[in-house]
Amino acid sequence: MSIWSDRNGQTRPVTLFTGQWADLPLAQLAKKAATWGYAGLELACWGDHFDVVRAASDQNYCVALREMLGSHGLEVFAVSNHLVGQAVCDHIDERHKSILPEHVWGDGAEEGVRARAADEMKLTARAAANLGVRVVNGFTGSSIWPLLYSFPPVPERWVEEGFEEFARRWTPVLDVFDEVGVRFALEVHPTEIAFDTITAERALASLEYREAFGFNYDPSHLAYQGVDCVDFINRFGERIYHVHMKDVWWSNRPGLSGVFGGHLPFGNIDRNWDFRSLGRGKVPFEEIVRALNRISYSGPLSVEWEDAGMEREHGAEEACAFVNAIDFPASHTAFDAAFSEE
């Protein structure tokens, strides 16, 4: 049964993921999001948007947060802790210091960082439960992402050990998610244990298909790789716990860089692919909406807005309008039923 089954028959709310807006105070962003037409926010666990430690221990903080959002006509359906989740399985280096809270980074020693990151994800589950949301989106990290290109040749057992390590490190975290009745939704994404359909299936299998673990479906990270982003929905329908609406453009012509990006920053003209404001890339949203209808997904459609070439407030407003326009409810009767003699 879908975690959103109680919303069957209701319009899917269009929300805004706040991760790319963490430079703005949440109260200011909430006011803007309401004027842009959003029904709610997907709260990032950085900036001042959602304090995991406080939310896990202070119910009054959660009540006040909901009341503030409600004063702007906004709801919250999910929180996201991508940055801390990344450190659970990654090989830790100086890059992680810039994305982790100080109390998680600590002295920077690898095993200590990984253990503290796992503890913080357990706390995130409790914080989400106190807030009254049913899903936490995020990353898992991966010890085997650096082995993606098999040269020098990578022994298969190394890959197997990577998935085993993922399961070993995330099982105690997911035990807490089960305890509090919240689901974890991995955003299938390069650098994670699952980055395409094949590895998504392998991640599920490594956890013995436990229900606490599913996916935050984001077509943009699949499409530019050449992965069938509609088929992903068809295959994993019951495990799609949340949906990101995000667009991407890719070139169909040979260029100066390929799918690996050429070490070029987003927005560089020589990139083979780049994220675009919704409706301005090549993601097949019409087919995605139809696939979501087939699996009876009735949860939020959360805009993760990224476009290096567009002013972001303009983009956020047009993206909300685009999603509202492209989404539609499923039919429960045949279009030619009126022709029946019965």
pLDDT at 158 over 80: yes
- At residue 96, does pLDDT exceed 70? yes
* All domains in the chain, ordered by first residue: 5-330 (3.20.20.150)
CA angle 42, 45, 48 (to 5 degrees): 95
Kindly state the average pLDDT of the residues 247-264: 96
- pLDDT category at 341 given cuts 50, 70, 90 is low
Confidence band for 5, pLDDT divided at 50, 70 and 90: confident
Cα–Cα distance, 332 to 75 (Å, whole number): 28
Q: How far apart are CA 211 and CA 222, in angstroms?
A: 23
Q: Stretch 81-85: mean pLDDT, rounded?
A: 98
281 and 221 Cβ atoms separated by less than 8 Å: no
> Residue 124 in contact with residue 52, Cβ under 8 Å?
yes
Q: Is there a cis peptide before residue 219, judged by omega within 30 degrees of 0?
A: no
- Express each pLDDT in 11-25 by its tens digit: 999 999 999 999 999
What amino acid is encoded at 56 in this protein?
A
Question: 0.85 exceeded by the pTM?
Answer: yes
> To the nearest 5 percent, what fractions of the chain are helix, strand and coil?
45, 15, 40
Average per-residue pLDDT for the chain: 96
- Residue 334: pLDDT above 80? no
pLDDT digits (tens, 9 = 90+) for 278-323: 999 999 999 999 999 999 999 999 999 999 999 999 999 999 999 9
